[in-house]
Amino acid sequence: MDDIDAMFSDLLGEMDLLTQSLGQETVPPASLPSTDTEVNFPIGFGDLNANLHELEDNDLDALMADLVADLNATEEKLAAEIEGLKVPSPPPSDLPPPPKGLSIQPASSLASPTSPARGTSSNVSTPASSTASPLPPPPPQSSKPSKEEIEAQMKADKIKLALEKLKEAKVKKLVVKVLLNDGSSKTLMVDERQNVREVLENLFEKTHCDCNVDWSLCETNPELQLERTFEDHENLVDPLLAWTRDSENKILFQERGEKNEVFKNPQNFYLWKKDKRALKEIKEKDKELLIQENFCGTSIIVPDLEAVLYLKEDGKKSWKQRLFQLRASGIYYVPKGKTKSSRDLVCFVQFDNLNVYYGKDFKSKYKAPTDFCFVLKHPQIQKESQYIKYLCCDDAWTMNLWVTGIRIAKYGVSLYENYKTAEKSAVSSVWTNRSTPSSSNPSTPSPTIKAKSPSQANGHAPKPQPGPVSQDFDNVPLPPPPPPMADMLPPPPPDPVLPPLPPPLAAKSSPKPATPQRHLPSNFPPPPPAMENLPPPPPPPPINDASEAPPDFLPPPPPPPAAGYGSLPPPVSSLPPPPPPASFGGMDLSLPPPPPDPGFLPPPPPRPMFTGAGGAPPPPPPPPPPLQPAAPRPAAVRPTGSVKKMPPAPPKRTTPAQHGGGGDGGGDFMSELMLAMNKKRGNN
Amino acid sequence: MCAFCPFNISHSLLHMLHAHAHTHTHTLHMHHSHSLSVKAHFRLAETEKKKEQAYFDRSDTSSIDTATQTTTCPAQERARNCCIFSQKNLGNFFKDLTEAQESPSSHFSKPWTEETNDSSPAFLSLSLAPSMAVWDLSVTVEDLGSDAPPVTLSVASDLHVGGVILKLVEKTQIKRDWSDHALWWEQKQRWLLRTAWTLEKYGIHADARLVFMPQHKPLKLCLPNGITLKLRACFSNPVFQTVMGICRMLNIRHPEELSLLRPIEQKKKKKDKDSAEEIYDLTEVPLSSVSRPCLYNGMPAHFADSTQMEAIYKMLSVTQPPPAPEVIAKQYRPASVVDKAHIHGRWLDSSRCLMQQGIQENDRVWLRFKFYAFYDIEPKYDVVRLTQLYEQARWAILLEDIDCTEEEMMLFGALQYHISKVSQSEPQMLSSSAAMDDLESALQSLEVKMEGETSTASEMLEYMTAPELNDYLKIFRPKRLTLKGYKQYWFKFQDTSISYFKSKEESIGEPIQQINLKGCEVAPDVNVTAQKFLIRLLIPAPEGMNEVYLRCENEQQYAQWMAACRLGSKGKTLADSSFQSEIQSIRSFLAMQKTSSSSHGNVPANDESINTHSLVSPRYHKKYKTKQLTPRILDAYQNVAQLSLTDALMRFLQIWQALPDFGLSYVVVRFKGSRKDEVMGIAPNRLIRIDLGVGDVVKTWRYNNMKQWNVNWDIRQVAIEFEGNVNIAFGCVTADCKIVHEFIGGYIFMSTRSREKSDTLNEELFHKLTGGHEAL
């Protein structure tokens, strides 16, 4: 037993070292990222170093956040454990979501990664089960002592933890730079279990946009002059992995009306043959009926499209006209001299392995008859190839009709589900916005808030809301509150650990939201046992937010998620749930705890890092990189930071710190952390 | 006879009054009471109507009850009921009666002499009632045989139908349960079901030919799956109710979606074969047991009685094996839209009974889904419904009743293959009862729980290391080499990638190449007889797709590597649970190829030796040999091979429903003002107008824009008004306009279902929407 124990602690230690090294590595390459091209680095332990060197400064934040998340997770576990031991679990029970869940959360965050191991698809069951059973024990604690059983349990948990970490290590993560409309960008860490919706929610939180259903992530391929909107249920990492290393592809965060147009005006797609004027006068009731008929029946009905389109012939420069038909099973064309009868149709493509893209400026690039072109290709194809199908339409409307029709045929009911989810999110954001003022207030009281922030309930909660619903579990684990919508929001539980608070706020009436936050602070005290030790301000993850937060928030560092909300002036709070990927959420939560005191750091893995950090308060880790969409903010930020990219972290830090007295503490934390990391690096 | 009930009296009274008002009465007697024009009579007529109504409500239910319990003569039973009702109004009658007597007319002067019923209680009033002329009524009693002469009864016009029946039964002197019997009036083609009505009210005279026969008679029912059942169906109620009864017996929910149609005449030559066709007899099922379906062992109780019955139920609830290609080829296939329209002209009228539509005992009719709006399909409760729906869809595809593309046909073929395979291997699932389901789910959750608890570290470690395949294979990459050559390497399949090495010994080092299969296309290139086992891979790369061929030595190797490639292309590893079943399905397809290419005599009972021609329409029999067809179906099969039976059925139905022409019932029509025939397609949500010449859809009208529709029964024209002042009118060529009317009304009825959650069928609404003038 001892051997095994030793072995595993070694393993854990090693892992921690690895993580640390990661953090360190990132730190050094502080070279400013002037380059606009964004680079996605697959981060795996294997090729970490190589990648790290390429990282830009900005990206460091994200990385840091990620790392911290790990720590936090463990930390939380610990806290949960302590709670479990010392405090009966009453508090959790109050929590709307599973109280236990909360405590578990940390664990779950870890666990979740495990389950999916490689697959993108998250096996919910596995993580859940694992988390549930072993709730408390992960990190061996001093407090635990007493029983042997506990020790045994601890051992087992350790093993699990190690394994989970191993698996976690296998989860692909990318640092992604997302370009905003104003030319600025945000850098995010996205792991392979996250879907686009979650990333969007994350961006909502960071940008304080209005969260309407049109917001989308788009991929552009300058080489092929293509672009496409990711569907909300898609995994973001997968398509990005298809990019070549030297790719100039970009990811944009934009409002794309065509994404959900079919649900706003279904008549334009399903009754397109009808008189245009009559379509304009169609009643809401009839629209609903159309959606019902086509998306809510046993079978999804694809718009019945038929048109003469131009097809660029394989390898040739000429465009040939053909009569195409769209069916649920693919695109067909009518061969020459044949009738339009189904049995005579020739299959042009089926959609299993193809994505549909809009072509840009094909008139000049490929001598297309018009600029209204769309393209079908395997997502992995990144350069010109005979396997790419180019089609050209007479007008923009036809093109939209076809692209949307193809999406319906390919994705089916997922599109409608995405729309409903987005709608809910938009609605909740509206609510929050209304409440915003109040929420903003809470944020002001930085000191208290910070304390709260650690709990981060807000930050976490949000995530769950958005993401959970849609699918990936990954996120879910973190924040307990699976209830996607605000409806469920039971008032935030008092537990510090519990992250659920935020969501409720957003969803619920304005007044309430405000209160919850305030309450939280008060509530926080309870957790103190564990919490107290922990100094509040571990702001790593929030970094991104920090950029914004700084202005308002003095003490940004401490409350990562909270900061996100509260700090961002009003908007933040309004942002429903930041769907930040699980990893983020985890980070937030964990953040608070870790920083506290090295001494306390119970969780073995995280500790090392922290300990080191504790030693020195070097560079402030979280640079406030991306400019926020919010006009005012960004403006403010920009000056401070570098033009496009995220300014080096340090500046931002300082800003926030200056603002808030309380913030200083937080800042120190961060700097301490950085110091520690540097130290470590040095040691290595 | 008057003793039967006071209604008789009231009738007489009515007539008396009538006679009083008008001097000549006889002709008026021929008419129904509501045709009376004299105001003074209305009050009376109305009360009579009400009473009658009450009577019928009561008597209808009672007749069902008595059907099971007794041999009591229904007429007597009814008579008793009548008495109960009558007492309340007795006072009135007397009053009326006295009034009437004060002014007797010659017509009523005849003394009441006949005494027919000694058993029923006589009323005082009876003796007071004036009697009518007695005449002879002849009734054919079917049960006496066709040769037996009609039974003659002496009756008076004020005799109640119930009384006639009573007399008749007594006269035949046969003791049996007559409760299901009723009188059928041949000339008028109508049932005399209102036993309280007098002969006079029905307008029956001595020249009427009445037949006394059971209302439920055997009917040969051809189901969507091609099986013919013989069962007792109601010949006297509207077809709508007949179908409800049939569906109840067969355990099909939502009978409103089905209806009956006249079969297509078979060519005479086939008759000998038809006689050989097996007919499954359900006529012994007591009608009473059907009224209340309770499940026993997952099937209605009447199917659990004997093993034969169970076998029949299995026939209903399990999909049929793929038909032989010759069988498909032999079936009638509509060649054009007009042909299809003719089929839709065969639907029976839902608001009239079978007898009225010329359907005779033991005639053959088809039971089909008529309205393509399938509400609330719940595989757990809809085993028979789902199975029959699938069969109907399958035959629609096989017979090209609905058009699809070649790719779609292959997918349908693959699903059929999968469904027939799975339904043979897991027939249990179909008949599992609710209780079993609960148990199952409980077990499942238990399993999950245990899994969760036992997921120890070692297990987790295991999970992390996926199994791999290693073997010598030959590879060929057409792009690189101009010379066609397969080179042998040591291959390793791990995770979702294939790597290859010079030899096994060198496999520890760096591979010559590693190919990630995720997202690639995998296609078979196999010829079993030639022992060619190729796997063709199209591997995506940033520059395009790379083509790679892998050559396997034998079936075994091929099945494994093919399965691995398929999983890999979907991003799954060999650890995936579907790996083994994937191997199995590939092998069974190889087996299919083997048997179909080898001699015919070599076809054992091996269920894997399905001729792929059985899975597609005859068009493809000509187009492809089985050898060519099999790989194509296999190709489509890989996407559905993992589906459970229910999922596969549902998938089949979904793809069917997603076809552009789904749900269209055609009728050839002629639009008002137009001189040429056109086709009207009636879909669940719209009407479409199709130009026969071009075959194109000219116009679409949606029901939700419809303001009203009318049928002019005199000129047989359907007129529809849509919002925006759009009016159309057309006459129907290939079908009665009642059929079109019923389709439109029926679909509107179907769309109302989702709103009212109750399970009870709003029959009245259906008739209102579909009945036309007859419903009023």
Closest partner residue to B658 among A119, A126, A299, by Cβ?
Answer: A299
Q: Are residues B259 and B186 in the same domain?
A: no
What does the block give as tokens for B40? Answer: 């003074």
Residues A537 and A557: beta-carbon distance below 8 Å = yes
Tell me which of B399, B402, B444, B455 to substitute to probe the interface with A (most A C-beta atoms closer than 10 Å): B455
Q: Tell if the CB–CB gap between A343 and B704 is shorter than 8 Å.
A: no
Q: Are residues A329 and A416 in the same domain?
A: yes
> Residues of B with CB below 8 A from A301's CB?
657-658
Q: Are residues B99 and B152 in the same domain?
A: no
DSSP string of B334-350? --SHHHHHHHHTTBPPT
Considering only A2-11, A177-186, A543-552, B371-380, which range has the smallest mean pLDDT? A543-552
Residues A344 and A335: beta-carbon distance below 8 Å = yes
Q: Tell if the CB–CB gap between B661 and A350 is shorter than 8 Å.
A: no
pLDDT band with cut points at 50, 70 and 90 for residue B441: low
Q: What share of chain B is helix, strand, coil (3-state, %, to 5)?
A: 45, 20, 35
| Residue in chain A lying closest to B576 (CA) | A119
Tell whether A301 lies on the interface with B, counting CB pairs under 8 A. Answer: yes
Residues 166-185 of A with CB under 8 A from B: 166-167
User: Rounded CA gap, B584 and B424, in Å?
Assistant: 15
- Compute the average pLDDT of residues B60-84: 38
Q: Are residues A310 and A367 in the same domain?
A: yes
CA quadruple A337, A341, A344, A349: dihedral positive or negative?
positive
In a domain, A323, yes or no: yes
Residues B414 and B631: beta-carbon distance below 8 Å = no
Tell whether A129 lies on the interface with B, counting CB pairs under 8 A. Answer: yes
Alpha carbon B104 to its chain centroid, in Å, reads 59
Q: Which residue range(s) make up the domain with B121?
A: 11-130
Q: What is the mean pLDDT of chain B?
A: 76
Domain ends where: A406, A428, A450? A428
User: Rounded CA gap, A237 and A418, in Å?
Assistant: 18
Q: Are residues A177 and A275 in the same domain?
A: no
Residues A415 and A273: beta-carbon distance below 8 Å = no
Q: Are residues B123 and B154 in the same domain?
A: no
Question: What is this structure's pTM?
Answer: 0.66
- Compute the average pLDDT of residues B654-681: 93
In a domain, B245, yes or no: yes
> Residues of A with CB below 8 A from B656's CB?
299
ipTM value > 0.90: no
Percentage of residues of chain A with pLDDT beyond 90: 24
Sequence-ordered list of residues with C-beta below 8 angstroms from that of B354, at least 6 positions apart, any chain: B219, B233, B234, B235, B239, B242, B260, B348
Q: Tell if the CB–CB gap between A119 and B695 is shorter than 8 Å.
A: no
Pairing of strands A250-255, A173-179: parallel
Tell me which of A235, A302, A343 to substitute to probe the interface with B (most B C-beta atoms closer than 10 Å): A343
> Residues of A with CB below 8 A from B658's CB?
299-302, 327-329
Q: What is the pLDDT of residue B33?
A: 35
Considering only A547-551, B169-173, B284-288, which range has the smallest mean pLDDT? A547-551
Q: Describe the crossing of helices A99-114 and A125-132 by its angle, rounded to 10 degrees.
A: 130
Closest alpha carbon to B610 in B442, B469, B417, B768: B417
Q: What is the pLDDT of residue B481?
A: 54
Q: Are residues A214 and A296 in the same domain?
A: no
Q: What is the pLDDT of residue A238?
A: 86
| Residue in chain A lying closest to B410 (CA) | A329
User: Rounded CA gap, B760 and B186, in Å?
Assistant: 35
In a domain, B5, yes or no: no
Q: Tell if the CB–CB gap between A244 and B542 is shorter than 8 Å.
A: yes
Which of the given ranges, A403-407, A490-494, B75-79, B302-306, has the highest pLDDT on average? A403-407
Q: Are residues B358 and B277 in the same domain?
A: yes
Phi/psi zone of residue B724: left (φ > 0), alpha (ψ -120 to 50 degrees), beta? left
User: Rounded CA gap, A596 and A610, in Å?
Assistant: 9
Q: Is the pLDDT of residue B349 over 50?
A: yes
User: Rounded CA gap, B332 and B318, in Å?
Assistant: 24
Q: What is the pLDDT of residue B479?
A: 63
User: Rounded CA gap, A652 and A7, in Å?
Assistant: 42
CATH number at residue B562: 2.30.29.30
CATH number at residue B307: 3.10.20.90
In a domain, A419, yes or no: yes
Q: Are residues A273 and A393 in the same domain?
A: yes
**Residue in the block written with tokens 């077809």:** B239
Q: Are residues A299 and A342 in the same domain?
A: yes
- B659 against B597, higher pLDDT: B659
Residues B687 and B680: beta-carbon distance below 8 Å = yes
The count of structural domains within chain B is 5
Q: Are residues B617 and B491 in the same domain?
A: yes
Q: Are residues A237 and A295 in the same domain?
A: no
Pairing of strands A42-43, A173-179: antiparallel
Sequence-ordered list of residues with C-beta below 8 angstroms from that of A481, at least 6 positions apart, any chain: A96, A97, A460, A461, A464, A465, A468, A488, A489, A499, A500, A503, A504
In a domain, A405, yes or no: yes
Output b/e per residue, B316-344; b: 16+ Cβ within 10 A: bbbbbebbebeebbeeeebeebeebbbbb
pLDDT band with cut points at 50, 70 and 90 for residue B627: confident
Cα B168 to Cα A290, B193, B734, distances in angstroms: 60, 15, 44
Tens digits of per-residue pLDDT, B256-300?
999 999 998 766 555 455 555 788 888 888 776 555 556 666 778
> For B319, which DSSP code?
P
Q: Are residues B513 and B626 in the same domain?
A: yes
Residues A653 and A554: beta-carbon distance below 8 Å = no
pLDDT band with cut points at 50, 70 and 90 for residue A611: very low
Q: Starting from the edge strand earliest in sequence, which strands make up the sheet with B717-722, in order? A: B697-702, B686-690, B678-682, B665-671, B726-732, B717-722, B706-712
Residues A581 and A194: beta-carbon distance below 8 Å = yes
**Residue in the block written with tokens 């300082």:** A654
Q: Is the pLDDT of residue A392 over 80?
A: yes
User: Rounded CA gap, A569 and A96, in Å?
Assistant: 27
In a domain, B716, yes or no: yes
Residues B336 and B408: beta-carbon distance below 8 Å = no
In a domain, A538, yes or no: no
CATH number at residue A209: 3.10.20.90
Q: What is the pLDDT of residue A49?
A: 42
Q: What is the pLDDT of residue A302?
A: 94
Tell whether A286 lies on the interface with B, counting CB pairs under 8 A. Answer: yes
Tell whether A488 lies on the interface with B, counting CB pairs under 8 A. Answer: no
Q: Are residues B618 and B671 in the same domain?
A: no
User: Rounded CA gap, B79 and B85, in Å?
Assistant: 10
pLDDT band with cut points at 50, 70 and 90 for residue B504: confident
Output b/e per residue, B218-252; b: 16+ Cβ within 10 A: bbbbbbbbebebbbbbbbbbbbbbbbbbbbbbbbb
- B493 against A64, higher pLDDT: B493
The count of structural domains within chain A is 2
> Residues of B with CB below 8 A from A379's CB?
519, 540
Q: Are residues A300 and A264 in the same domain?
A: yes
Q: What is the pLDDT of residue A594?
A: 41
Pairing of strands B521-527, B532-541: antiparallel
In a domain, B118, yes or no: yes
Q: What is the mean pLDDT of chain A?
A: 62
User: Rounded CA gap, B56 and A169, in Å?
Assistant: 79
Q: Is the pLDDT of residue A599 over 80?
A: no
Tell whether A332 lies on the interface with B, counting CB pairs under 8 A. Answer: yes
Domain ends where: B97, B130, B163? B130
User: Rounded CA gap, B509 and B523, in Å?
Assistant: 30
In a domain, A342, yes or no: yes
Hey, what amino acid is at A181?
Answer: N
Q: Are residues A177 and A230 in the same domain?
A: yes
Residues in chain A: 684
SS3 of residue B244 by DSSP:
helix
- B631 against A479, higher pLDDT: B631
In a domain, B424, yes or no: no
Q: Are residues A238 and A386 in the same domain?
A: no
Closest partner residue to A342 among B404, B540, B705, by Cβ?
Answer: B404
Residues A469 and A513: beta-carbon distance below 8 Å = no
Considering only A379-393, B320-334, B456-470, B536-550, which range has the smallest mean pLDDT? B456-470
As to burial, measured by CB atoms within 10 angstroms (0-12 exposed, 13-18 middle, 19+ buried), residue B88 is: exposed
Chain B closest CA to A223's CA: distance in Å? Answer: 12
What does the block give as tokens for B221? Answer: 């029912």
Q: What angle do CA A251, A255, A261 make, to 5 degrees?
A: 120
Q: Are residues B102 and B146 in the same domain?
A: no
Chain B closest CA to A260's CA: distance in Å? Answer: 21
Tens digits of per-residue pLDDT, A233-257?
999 998 888 898 888 999 999 999 9
Tens digits of per-residue pLDDT, A18-50?
555 444 433 333 333 333 334 444 443 434 444
- A172 against B369, higher pLDDT: B369
Q: Are residues A196 and A301 in the same domain?
A: no
User: Rounded CA gap, B204 and B155, in Å?
Assistant: 11
Q: Is the pLDDT of residue A574 over 90?
A: no
Q: Are residues B501 and B642 in the same domain?
A: yes
As to burial, measured by CB atoms within 10 angstroms (0-12 exposed, 13-18 middle, 19+ buried), residue B474 is: middle
Sequence-ordered list of residues with C-beta below 8 angstroms from that of B129, at least 6 positions apart, any chain: B2, B8, B9, B12, B97, B112
pLDDT band with cut points at 50, 70 and 90 for residue A277: confident
Residues A557 and A502: beta-carbon distance below 8 Å = no
Q: What is the pLDDT of residue B65?
A: 37
Q: Are residues A247 and A342 in the same domain?
A: no
Q: Which residue range(s) make up the domain with A411?
A: 260-428
Domain ends where: B333, B353, B370? B370
Using only C-alpha atoms, chain B has a radius of gyration, in whole angstroms, of 35
| Residue in chain B lying closest to A158 (CA) | B457
Q: Are residues B511 and B653 in the same domain?
A: yes
Closest partner residue to B544 among A129, A286, A386, by Cβ?
Answer: A386
Domain ends where: A241, A257, A273? A257
| Residue in chain B lying closest to A239 (CA) | B519
Q: Are residues B221 and B210 in the same domain?
A: no
Closest partner residue to A347 among B405, B456, B650, by Cβ?
Answer: B405
**Residue B537 — φ and ψ, nearest 5°?**
-115, 135
As to burial, measured by CB atoms within 10 angstroms (0-12 exposed, 13-18 middle, 19+ buried), residue A136 is: buried
Cα A21 to Cα A63, A597, A679, A681, distances in angstroms: 11, 21, 11, 6
Q: Is the pLDDT of residue A55 over 80?
A: no
In a domain, B433, yes or no: no
Closest alpha carbon to B224 in B244, B252, B245, B249: B252
Cβ neighbours of A400 (radius 10 Å):
20
As to burial, measured by CB atoms within 10 angstroms (0-12 exposed, 13-18 middle, 19+ buried), residue B723 is: middle
Domain ends where: A380, A400, A428? A428
Q: What angle do CA A174, A177, A180 make, to 5 degrees?
A: 145
Chain B closest CA to A606's CA: distance in Å? Answer: 21
Q: Are residues B146 and B102 in the same domain?
A: no
As to burial, measured by CB atoms within 10 angstroms (0-12 exposed, 13-18 middle, 19+ buried), residue A573 is: buried
- Compute the average pLDDT of residues B304-325: 88
Domain ends where: B636, B657, B678? B657
> Residues of B with CB below 8 A from A131's CB?
none
Residues B569 and B520: beta-carbon distance below 8 Å = yes
Pairing of strands B216-222, B364-369: parallel
Closest alpha carbon to A588 in A485, A676, A500, A650: A500
Cα B757 to Cα B236, B376, B381, B762, B768, distances in angstroms: 30, 11, 17, 11, 20
User: Rounded CA gap, B435 and B167, in Å?
Assistant: 52
In a domain, A555, yes or no: no
CATH number at residue A326: 2.30.29.30
- Compute the average pLDDT of residues B570-576: 83
